[in-house]
Amino acid sequence: MNAIEVKNISKHYQDKVIFSQLTFHVEEGEMVAIIGDSGVGKTTLLNCLGQLEKIDSGQIFIQGSLSNYRHRKYYFKSVFGFLFQNFALIDNESVYENLNFITKDKKQIKKYLEEFGLGKEYLTKKVYQLSGGEQQRVALIRVLLKKPRIVFADEPTASLDDENSQIVMRTLQSLKNKGVTVIVVTHDKGLLPYFDKVIELKSDKSHEIKLY
């Protein structure tokens, strides 16, 4: 079954066409990259797939059912996980406080912290005290604790060094190996070997799909 199927979707901002008549599908358990030059609408497309923004026309099917933007809270709660470039953590709260709204299982949180090289002392550290790489690891743990069926990641390695970038990509790949669908916006073509499929948006509003 397709995790996501897109039929003739278009998006505009006032008079500017962001993308037009896009049609493609993403199978369950696929790891897919969205690439293209700056300004072609990569993040906007990701946001539309993840129901963070409305499309202007066309249809998006999620797990076989036509999506309804008014019902997006269901997807946020039960289906989707998000990994943002800016991490979307609460800076003045502790690591534990950022994670315990997903689960109250402190033992599980500690387990993931240790797996990502963050000892139990990180539980009480404020997010603003962490490096960018450490913050992204906490954001990854938040996704893992949620147990989503579809993960959307917007430039998840953009501000990271090579070591932390590889941690992020290996983690996303491990989710894919468990049957989770992973959709990633990236500008880094060096990461493309991680993906099963690449959707390239072009400045003429067309798109090309490549299989790897």
Query: What are the domain boundaries of the chain?
Result: 2-211
**Strand ranges for the chain from DSSP E:** 2-13, 16-27, 31-35, 57-62, 65-66, 80-83, 150-154, 181-185, 197-201, 207-211
Q: Any idea which residue has 């669908």 for tokens?
A: 181
pLDDT at residue 29 in the model: 97
pLDDT at 80: 96
Q: Residue 93's pLDDT is what?
A: 93
pLDDT at 212: 62
Alpha-carbon 97 to chain mean position: 22
**pLDDT score recorded for residue 88:** 87
How far apart are alpha carbons 26 and 192 in whole angstroms?
A: 16
Within a 13 Å sphere around the CA of 139, how many CA atoms are in the beta-carbon half?
A: 29
pLDDT per residue, tens digit, the chain (212 aa), is 899 999 999 999 988 889 999 999 999 999 999 999 988 999 999 999 999 999 999 999 999 999 988 889 999 999 999 998 888 899 999 999 999 989 888 899 999 999 888 988 999 999 999 998 899 899 999 999 999 999 999 999 988 888 888 888 999 999 999 999 999 999 999 999 999 999 999 877 667 777 76
Find, among 52, 46, 57, the residue nearest to 69 by Cα: 52
Which of 2.60.120.260, 3.40.50.300, 3.40.640.10, 1.10.1200.10 would CATH assign to domain 2-211?
A: 3.40.50.300
How much is the pLDDT for 124?
94
Q: What is the pTM of this model?
A: 0.92
Residue 2 confidence (pLDDT): 95
